[in-house]
Each structure stands twice: as structure tokens, then as C-alpha cells.
Amino acid sequence: MKLLILACQIALFAPLLAKEFPADALLDKIISQPGSYSQVCDVVTVPEDVPYRAFQITDFAGASFSKKNQELIDKNREILVKAIRKRLLEIDFSRETKQPAEDPAAKEEESDGDPYGADPKSLNPLLLTMIQQLHAIEALPELLEIEKKLVAEIAKAKDNASAKPPVTYGWFVSPVSENYEDNEPEAKRERRLSLFHSRVAQRDLVMTMAVLMREKKYEPYLKTSLENSYVKGLKRKVEKDKIPQFKKDEVSANEIDDEIAMDPVSGIFHGEYTSISIPYTRESRDEIRAAAAQWISEHP
């Protein structure tokens, strides 16, 4: 009887919950007002050849999801994944982006960062972060499509000086060595940086696809040069840092040190915040895309 009453209550309140948190509106709210902010003091730089940072994407200017928003994300996975898949296909790289309104939650948390999220209709790091946190491998078709679209827009802008660079939002990074002319016109500099930001965004799209497939230990992905380069780089790093290695089933990372983590794929114990830089190549990008396409064909 109690189970029957509970089932009736869930059926009664489900429509109300859906009205309170419509999928698109919830996605917009969390992206535009992520809820937690920290001051970024240093300029974030990226080498001009835009190497992968396995397995990380560029942070959004110190903004992250608050505990409250994180709970909303976790509790509304199904509707958010559907909204994200729809949103990825709606993104217009010719559309001018807008800075969202100030997030009132920043005052509540006594934040020391800029209290702004990202334009929710844009391609931005917060959107990719949410995809990763939701382990939304269902979004691989849309990620594959938007990455292809972005690459085409970058190529168009490179080949035609009058073509507008694709518009992304939130990749606030600078090339490590800016090759600018003395007295470079502002418009020319902005165009060059916009193209650079779009290349960083495209790299992070590829990395997001890789992360989703790696979580599944998907064999076609595990054979890619990106994965092989990561494992080799990780082995060199732990040898240099003299981090002890154990068999997977011998000990957990927490039993060794709070700052040690175990890579779930290779079983290598490494520093918790270790990031391996790997050269970006067209071949590595094509391998990730091919693995993603194969996953999609096997999971219709």
C-alpha cells in the first residue's frame, strides 16, 4: 500500500517538476549563472599549435557549478542531456554573443571572481564541462556534428580574409607567443585572437569526445594515438616524480596519499592534478572522430 501511495505521489508531482524546471530553461540558467566564482589572477596561455591537455578542457574564467547547481545537474540528467543534444545543433557560429546578467548567487557565496556565466546559446567551456559531468555519451552524434561544422567555419575564415571567424564564448586564453606587428590594427588583432579561440574550442570538442569514450573503455578509442601518447607521457611523468606503482587490486589511491590518483584505464598511479601535454594533429583528430562514428553506429 505504501509503495502504491508513493507511486501515485510521484505521478502527481512529476508534471509540476517538469513545469518548474523546463529542460531548455534549466540549461540556460545553469550555464548563464553557474553559481560559483573565483578570481583568475594570471592570463591563461596556450601554445599556438594548441596541444591537447589530456584529459582537460580550458576552464571558464574561474566560474564553476555551485553545490546547488551541481545537485540540479545530477538530479535532472535525462532532461538535461536531451536539452544539450538539441542545443549543440542549434548553435550558430555567426551569432554575436552576449554576456549574461550578473549572478546574484555570487553575493551569497561571497565570491571573489567576476559574477558572470556564459552565453547559454553559445559553444562555451561550461557546456562541455556539463557534458563531461553528466557522462553524456548519448551526445556523441551532436558533438561530432558541431565539431565538423566548427572546423569548416575555421577553414572558411582562414581562406578568406573577409570572412568572419566563428564565434565562441569563454575561451579567454592567449597564444603563448603573440606574433603581432608593431601598431597592429585592433580589428586585425581581434580577428586573429578570435580564430585562435575557435581553434582552442575545437580542440576541446575533440577532447570531450575522447573523455566520453575513455570512460567506457571503448576499444577503438583506446587504440588511438592520443590514448597511447597519454599513457607514455604519464609513465614518464610518474617516473620523474618517483610515484610508487602498485597493481590495481593491491591498493587504492586513497591509501597512499590524498594527492595521488589512479588512472582507471591504465592503472597508473599519478599526481592528482597531473595533465599531460600531447601535440594536436589532424591525424589524431580524425582517429577520435572515427572512433566516435563507430560508437554511434554500434549504439543507434
Q: How many CB atoms are located within 10 Å of the residue 110 CB?
A: 6
Supply the pLDDT for residue 138. Answer: 98
- What local confidence, expressed as pLDDT, does residue 6 receive? 41
Instruction: Enumerate the β-bridge partners of residue 174.
Output: 45
**Per-residue pLDDT at 187:** 87
- Please state whether the peptide bond connecting residue 55 to the residue before it is cis, i.e. omega within 30 degrees of 0: yes
| Amino acid, res. 108 | E
Cα–Cα distance, 259 to 263 (Å, whole number): 13
> What is the structure's pLDDT at 248?
66
Residue 178: its pLDDT value, please?
A: 56
For residues 222 and 265, the answer to whether their CB atoms sit within 8 Å is yes
Is the whole model's pTM more than 0.85, yes or no?
Answer: yes
Q: What is the pLDDT of residues 212-253, one digit of tens each?
A: 999 999 999 999 999 999 999 999 999 999 988 887 666 655
Q: Is 53 exposed, middle or buried (0-12, 13-18, 19+ CB in 10 A)?
A: middle
pLDDT in single tens digits along all 300 residues of the chain: 444 444 444 444 344 344 445 899 999 999 999 999 887 766 678 888 999 999 999 888 889 999 999 999 999 999 999 999 999 999 999 999 999 999 888 776 556 678 899 999 999 999 999 999 999 999 999 999 999 999 999 999 999 988 999 999 999 888 886 565 667 788 888 999 999 999 999 999 999 999 999 999 999 999 999 999 999 999 999 999 998 888 766 665 555 666 888 899 999 999 888 989 999 999 999 999 999 999 999 998
pLDDT at 8: 46
What pLDDT sits at residue 276? 95
- Cell numbers at residue 30, please? 545553469
Q: With 0-12 CB in 10 A as exposed, 13-18 as middle and 19+ as buried, what is 90? A: exposed
pLDDT of residue 7: 44
